[in-house]
Amino acid sequence: MQFLPILLPLAYLIFFLWVIGYLNYFKTAGFSKTALQFAFILKAFSGLVIYLIYTYYYPVRMEADTFKYFDDSKYLYEALWYKPVDFFKMLLGIDCENDYFLKEYYSKMFNWYRSYDNGLLNDNRLVIRINAVIRIFSFGNYHVHSLFFNFLTFLGSYSLAKLFLTVSESKWKAYLAVFLIPSVVFWSAGILKESILIFALGSFSWNFYKVMNGHRKLTTYLWLIGLLPILIIMKFYVFVAFIPAIIGWWISQKTKKTILVYIATTIGCLLLALLIGYLVPTYNFLNIMAAKQGDFINLAKFLKANSSIQMDYLEPNLWSFLKASPKALVNTLTRPWPTELKGILFYPPLFENFFIILILFASWFYRKNVQLKQWKFVFFCLTFSVLLFVIIGLTTPIIGAIVRYKIPAIPFLVIVALLFFDASKLPQTIRQNKIILWLHSFL
């Protein structure tokens, strides 16, 4: 029995690798079986590293993101065997907000109720519910949960890779942008909200692209309908940045005025948000963001966060936000700086920023013309990335949080740079290098 905690996750790892290698669904994009299995192994290894970091680097378990939802799910799961009606009520959110459930279940959890209420949906509960369902198959083994979450985010990443491959017509560009960016691989692994977010974001983007290109199957529409609430619940600020981009992408397919469409769509969404905030003050996004930023700054000061940066408090008016937006964009794109290295965990994001900047420069020096269809996709990616970076930079005063929060946009930003990159212009010694040739055959 002492080997069960090791053998069970190992068995699930082998099972998921088998599914990726032999299921027809994973053969449709054109990536090799080995390349996809390697991507999942990277994800599984990252999940293990997250476990070790949160175990030894952040010793307070109830405050560790990767443990707290897993631990809380135990109380919901146990109801399945003793009071199954209660279990399904909590799982589905039906008639479960009363004193009885509070006393029997929620009072034992630390994260069913959030410590603050910004008027938005509670994403903690979705993660707890997913963990409760996985417990049916995991026997309470944390690493099995991690593998399930890794497979979920892998599905989203695979969908995003299919989208990038279809647009770029290059396997190595799509694979690099989706599966090999360190921060994206790491922070979307394990039992974290980002795992669910990447699943929803990648799957929604791919299915939306299929609809725009004449794919009219009912299952595609059902996927979009089912994924949209997950995007709204999981990270509302990502949804806020994603909506103008996705609407602009759809409208731009019907006109050649691409830039104008994206500008008009973004401004239109902003005006609509302001109108909603005026009519329903509870959902005034300026007030919500200003309050969120204030809470974050105060928390950073209270905890004396090692990676906090200087940030002025926002006023709940449009001018205050517009004035702070350029600095917010730069902070999200470039932090941490070499002068801000205060520990080993600062080095990976620093090197990654240098790598992304290197890709941008390489794409400029070895650039090529892109097709009109690709231009429309470029503006979709840039609109989403810029809006998300600005939102994060306006509200987040801790570098570690910035690095983690921006990962949904990183693949979109990298693929934009790679779309303009013409590998045929590289020196022949690089193009004919044995390692480069082997990588092409590997994919």
pLDDT in tens, the chain (443 residues): 456 678 899 999 999 999 999 999 998 888 999 999 999 999 999 999 999 988 887 777 777 888 989 999 999 999 999 999 999 999 998 888 888 988 889 989 988 887 665 545 678 899 999 999 999 999 989 999 999 999 999 999 999 999 999 999 899 999 999 999 999 999 999 899 999 999 999 999 999 999 998 888 888 889 999 999 999 888 888 998 999 999 999 998 888 788 898 989 999 998 988 888 888 887 788 888 888 888 888 877 777 777 788 888 888 888 988 999 999 999 999 888 888 777 777 888 889 888 888 888 888 888 888 887 889 999 999 999 999 999 999 998 888 889 999 999 999 999 999 999 888 777 777 767 666 777 777 87
Q: Which of 260, 312, 308, 315 is nearest to 286 (CA)?
A: 315
pTM here is 0.93
The confidence score (pLDDT) of residue 277 equals 81
The confidence score (pLDDT) of residue 350 equals 87
Q: Which two tokens stand for residue 40?
A: 């999942």
- Distances in Å between the Cα of 96 and the Cα atoms of 9, 102, 362 are 33, 9, 55
Going 423 to 426 to 428 to 433, the CA torsion angle's sign is negative
CB contact at 8 A, 51 and 143: yes
The confidence score (pLDDT) of residue 115 equals 65
d(CA 331, CA 196): 26
| Residue 367: φ, ψ to 5° | -85, 165
Going 325 to 329 to 332 to 335, the CA torsion angle's sign is negative
The confidence score (pLDDT) of residue 44 equals 95
d(CA 184, CA 197): 12
Side-chain half-sphere of 314: how many Cα atoms within 13 Å? 31
The confidence score (pLDDT) of residue 151 equals 96
d(CA 378, CA 416): 6
CB contact at 8 A, 417 and 286: no
